[in-house]
Structure 1
Amino acid sequence: MKKETLHIVKIGGNVINNEEALTSFLKDFSELEGFKILVHGGGNRATEIASEMGLKPKMIQGRRVTDETNLEVVTMVYAGLLNKNITAQLQQNNCNALGLSGADANCMLAHKRIVKDIDYGFAGDIDAVNSEIINVFLQNNITPVFCAITHDKKGQLLNTNADTIASEIAIAMSELFHVQLNYVFELKGVLETIEDENSVIKDINLDKYEQLIEQRIISNGMIPKLHNCFNALKKGVQKVKIGDASLIKSTNKLYTTLTI
């Protein structure tokens, strides 16, 4: 039996911070035909609100350290402010969306990250994705919108990387669907030269990925993003693309495609 296609789109970066870009993207996302899931981050907005509250977010190697107070802030911003604003805009575009965290309907189970060299506080690493309940939503014409909050089923919420959430959901849903995973951010794709926004590397396989790291063309935050991409491909996801907000338009030809 042929599997139906499921589009999973993770949105982050300056696309979320830019109201005009976000509005345009959500309109395009709403027009995607068939089954779809949206995953969003929102770290910059959480940092802004924490600062307004007199809190100074702690970052180590570009990753947020989530203490109890900052966990409250990111939960309010991710699962509340951003998630519900995105859901409301999708409803405006006639996309019947449901805003969710990992705790809702037990969609995603995680554990507090084990401390090795660095203690990231209440950061969560995913253990399981409830593909059965997510499929119930999809089959009832509901588009899930996941924020970057999970839980441990012991009453503890956890701040979890949105790129990882998208990858893990894609892997779990690939048993039921032909999954296409898309990472949308402010760049047109993986760039060969960071100063040239059109220097998109159109195709990257595992060997080329390792070469680009050695050449320092890929570095910093792009490495964990691509790690999630290749992890998804290795575990059953059919296609992974990275690009800007126009990525999901059929007319867009400039983006990065990843293969193994």
Structure 2
Amino acid sequence: MLPTPDTSHVSFDTIYEPSEDSYLFLDTLASDSESKWLSARFPNQSTSPLVVEVGTGSGVVLAFTAAQSEKIFGRRDILTLGTDVNRNACIATRETATTAIKAEQQPTPQSIHISSLTADLCAPLRPGSVDVLLFNPPYVPTEDLPRLPSAKDNDPATAEAMSRSDKFDNDSYFLSLTYAGGADGMETTDRLLEAIPGVLSARGVAYVLLCKQNKPEEVKDRIRAWGWQAESVGSSGMQAGWEKLVIVRIWREDHS
């Protein structure tokens, strides 16, 4: 079994703690079937793949992908980039990723974590630049969708000036961003899906996690209507309370 990246440095007051959905991502990417598929998609003679995780949280998924790139891609020269609306998550991801790469790619690490950007979804990404996009979204159906954080919300000085009760409310708000998905749990995921055709490269592929309430079969049909491919490649295989989790792979068939 491949080691899970260390997240002991992460404060989970405002950051999503790795859970079943995170580990499903790790297992799926490292599975023999996906490793074979990705190795064929990104052969060694091709340019280094750029792997972007949107909504990195602790960075455990992105760090695992970078550190275990030889197992996943059959090559070690992977470039990674992360985005998250929570500045604390971006800081945590940088440390998680760089530490995991150093630990697993000795004596000469080749994967590189470029940066973690405080941003909404794919906003800072250049069109056609992403080779592999990873997204573990806020997928729980909720009555309301939390507002996006402002620059002031992400300012460390703001948190330092808060009373204990205000800090509790602020921490709870940031945690709500990690799970609250609005109507059908799909409001944030729908925005991400809309961005996929624009940000993926010609050889690009996206992996998106969905729960049963997100109606994954309908999501796949919608993507196929673009003329793209969409298949379930990972599943929790059990009921986790009310949620059964799947990971959908999204890609263009012809990328020549």
TM over 0.5: no
Give the number of the structure with larger relative contact order, counting CA–CA contacts within 8 Å between residues 6 or more apart: 1
TM-score (norm 1): 0.36
TM-score (norm 2): 0.36
